[in-house]
Amino acid sequence: MVNDPKQIEPLSTRQLLSPKGFDEEMAKKGKELVNQFYILMKTAQIHGPTNVAMEAPIENVFRTLRGVWQWSDDAYLRLEGDYLFLDELKLKMDIDGFTSFTSLIDALKQLQIGGILFKKSSTTGDELKRFVYILVQTDPNTPEPFEGVTQRMKTMGIASIEVDPFEEKKESFDDILRDTKEMAKSTYFRTMTAVAEVMDNIKLGQAVSVKRAKRVVQSMVDLLLQEESTLLGLTTLRSHDEYTHHHSVNVCILSLTMGQRLGYSKKELTELGIAALFHDMGKASISPEILNKPTDFTEEEWQVMRRHPILGVKYVIKLKGINEMTIRMVTGIFEHHLNYDSSGYPKLDTKWELSLLGRIISLVDCYDALTSSRVYNRVPYPPDKALKFMLNKSGRAFDPILMKIFVNSIGIFPIGTLVLLDTNELGVVVQTSSSPDRIDRPKVKIIADPSGMEVDGDVIDLSELNEKTGRFRTSILKIIDSTKYKVDVSRYFL
Ligand SMILES: [Fe+2]
Ligand SMILES: [Fe+2]
């Protein structure tokens, strides 16, 4: 038998592309479709069906559709919440496509259309044209615009295009969470890179600019205002090698949380965030042997370590120009180990009253240092123990009022705390309760079932009441020391 070469199907583009590459390609086509379809609708609003101006937009939509049909039998453009999808692929709008996206979404919503299906083999230019005129000519103010559209489609014999009704389905909580989580993660890592860059430049004796850091802190401030708990969750991230960078970003996030509680403006938050981010700048010139020493410091090494606030101040002054921001940075750096009662270092001859910014940074700095595993070779404290330890020093090392606000804002079960529930399940606190009288009832992700088996469980809100009994469904029995059980809680935030 002779193989007929014609019978060997050529590899489709789908087979040639990796799944990621395929999605990217489809996303591009999807965006193009939104764009071209919007242009077609705009043109149809201005010109009649026989006008020559309609030809190019029709052809452009068709060209895009053919691109999609290469890989799939139908092209299904649908609207869910405020997002457009091509089949299951969410289309992200960018600056260029912004107008077409939002306008098309508005138009579809007004007509109560939730999806348009263009069938591969049967859609013709003529039907496409008739369909677009139905869309632009249907009055969205009629009681049932969607029925109006489908009725007219039937009368005009359009069978190759189908429409689905729009369902006012809220984007699921999971979806929103996923998006902001991605954003939070990228901001966290971008901030880490910005710190690393500045520290490296100091080490190399090069000119240092904090412009980039300022931009990332600004986006962190924006994010904090909408998604605080995700950012706080990321402060559980630890890395041995990049301890100082993680620590810097964590202190920045925690300081911002405090600033927000204290009613800081966006500008004030940014300044606080920058000062916090670079509070340990002086460590750039301390040798890694000392910084990463696995055993206790000698007295000499302590002396070197204690110099980092003064060194940090020097670096900041060397930054191009002194302005409001560098002054805040100097304050934060100089004061962060001084203690509320100035019993810390650098040693001063006179009593020094710490600025609010310095008091915030020194407090959250201590919390992050205590809960991290990298600091001075100590076993990290679980969040609750760290708070207890710090409460003991309230009024001496820390401003007692700020201490209270801090406990309140991160909760008595801070994000990342491992807890045992009265159902015998094990969970990780992923969000503290927003109401102050429910501070002991955070949101918890279940990570082990009552038998101790690891599970990828639901997130449950401990402040929710059982409808029948009127009592709380579940409560926290006790805190489990995550370090003892070697549970890396940070992975629940990635
Ligand atoms: Fe420090
Ligand atoms: Fe620090």
pLDDT tens-digit readout, 205-261 = 877 777 878 888 888 888 887 767 777 777 776 665 677 888 999 999 999 999 988
pLDDT tens-digit readout, 340-382 = 999 999 998 888 899 999 999 999 999 998 888 655 546 778 8
Total domains in the chain come to 3
177-193 exposure pattern, b = at least 16 Cβ within 10 A, e = fewer: beebbebbbebbebbbe
Q: Ligand 1 centre from 308 Cα, in Å?
A: 7
Q: Ligand 2 centre from 444 Cα, in Å?
A: 29
The pair of three-digit structure tokens given for residue 476, joined into one six-digit string: 């926290």
Q: Which ligand is nearest to the CA of 243?
A: 2
**Structural domain of residue 404, as residue ranges?**
173-409
Q: What is the mean pLDDT of the chain?
A: 83
Q: Ligand 2 centre from 258 Cα, in Å?
A: 16
**31 inside domain:** yes
pLDDT tens-digit readout, 290-315 = 887 777 889 999 999 999 999 999 98
pLDDT surpassing 60 at residue 13? no
Q: Which ligand is nearest to the CA of 365?
A: 2
Q: Ligand 1 centre from 472 Cα, in Å?
A: 42
Q: Ligand 2 centre from 250 Cα, in Å?
A: 10
**272 inside domain:** yes
Q: Ligand 1 centre from 365 Cα, in Å?
A: 7
Q: Ligand 1 centre from 323 Cα, in Å?
A: 23
Q: Ligand 2 centre from 247 Cα, in Å?
A: 7
Q: Which ligand is nearest to the CA of 337?
A: 1
38 touches 100 (CB < 8 A): yes
Q: Ligand 2 centre from 277 Cα, in Å?
A: 9
pLDDT tens-digit readout, 140-165 = 888 889 999 999 999 998 989 999 99
Q: Ligand 1 centre from 278 Cα, in Å?
A: 9
The CATH number of whichever domain residue 179 belongs to comes to 1.10.3210.10
The verdict on 181 and 158 lying in the same domain is no
DSSP codes of every residue in 340-402: TTS-SSS--SS--PPPHHHHHHHHHHHHHHHHSS-GGGPPPPPHHHHHHHHHHTBTTTB-HHH
**455 inside domain:** yes
The verdict on 197 and 314 lying in the same domain is yes
Give the pLDDT score at 11. 46
The verdict on 161 and 177 lying in the same domain is no
